[in-house]
Chains A and B, each alone.
Chain A
Amino acid sequence: AQSVAQPEDQVNVAEGNPLTVKCTYSVSGNPYLFWYVQYPNRGLQFLLKYITGDNLVKGSYGFEAEFNKSQTSFHLKKPSALVSDSALYFCAVREGTNAGKSTFGDGTTLTVKP
């Protein structure tokens, strides 16, 4: 079984400061890891993914994520937050054999204050 945990319901940062949104996962095989963002009344938008290779993955809108196999984590980061980054962020995991089924974390609400 695959599972994802996002330990923080809410993250607050000041504009211009770095941000981190945490995610840990559990799978029995090799993980495929994803970050999505959801704005109010909208569907989810893909930000980035880790499949294999470099542990640091770069994605859309200046976001990046670091895959850490020993800690089973995939934290989302951005060096300098913008007010427009305020949204709901979801981490998701899939096992290679479970292609169509993504398991999502509960989501973290990011608020960036001016």
Chain B
Amino acid sequence: KAGVTQTPRYLIKTRGQQVTLSCSPISGHRSVSWYQQTPGQGLQFLFEYFSETQRNKGNFPGRFSGRQFSNSRSEMNVSTLELGDSALYLCASSLRATSGKNEQFFGPGTRLTVL
């Protein structure tokens, strides 16, 4: 089975721009979560989607948004980029969202650099 894929792997943007990151979960996985990883804040939960619906949301400003498509692929968007948005953005998929028992499978991440 193919793993979680994320595109692009690397992005360089300037302040004020917007960016869209893409995640394709493992086949059959319907839950997709997004995390931001930075040296200072560690891994922070952004949001989770299941069956095209946002089920959980972390404490991030409204500039961070996401969506999920009928094939479970997910995108996240960050508008009006700030320097502090520079981070590794990780996508994780799991089999079901109705149970916390399932481990998450992570993609390699998208490294976003904001200049």
Residue numbers of A with Cβ under 8 A of B are: 32, 34, 36, 41-46, 49, 51, 90, 94-107
Are A43 and B4 CB-contacts (below 8 A) given A32-B101, A95-B100? yes
B4 engages A32 (CB within 8 Å) = no
Can you list, as one digit per residue, whether each of B72-115 has a CB less than 8 Å from chain A (1) or not (0)?
A: 00000000000000000010101011111111111111000000
B104 engages A104 (CB within 8 Å) = no
Once A and B bind, how many residue pairs between them come within 8 Å at the CB atom? 69
Residues of B near A99 (CB, < 8 A) are: 31, 55, 96-100, 102
B106: nearest chain-A partner, CB-CB: A43
Interface size class of B (residues with CB under 8 A): 20 to 34
B45 engages A46 (CB within 8 Å) = no
- The reply on B56 being an interface residue by CB < 8 A is yes
Q: Which of A90, A96, A100, A105 contacts B33 (CB 8 A)?
A: A100
B108 engages A101 (CB within 8 Å) = no
Give the complex CA separation of A44 and B98 in angstroms.
22
Residues of B near A105 (CB, < 8 A) are: 42
Residues of B near A36 (CB, < 8 A) are: 106
Give the complex CA separation of A43 and B94 in angstroms.
15
A43 engages B43 (CB within 8 Å) = no
Chain A nearest CB from B63 CB (Å) reads 20
Are A103 and B45 CB-contacts (below 8 A) given A94-B100, A95-B100, A96-B100? yes
* 11 CB < 8 A contacts A-B: A32-B101, A42-B108, A43-B4, A43-B92, A43-B106, A43-B108, A44-B104, A49-B101, A96-B99, A96-B101, A99-B102
B103 engages A101 (CB within 8 Å) = no
- The reply on B58 being an interface residue by CB < 8 A is yes
Residues of B near A34 (CB, < 8 A) are: 103-104
Q: Which of B42, B56, B105 contacts A100 (CB 8 A)?
A: B56
B54: nearest chain-A partner, CB-CB: A100
Give the complex CA separation of A99 and B93 in angstroms.
12
Chain A nearest CB from B112 CB (Å) reads 14
Are A44 and B90 CB-contacts (below 8 A) given A99-B100, A101-B33? yes
Are A101 and B56 CB-contacts (below 8 A) given A43-B4, A43-B108, A95-B100? yes
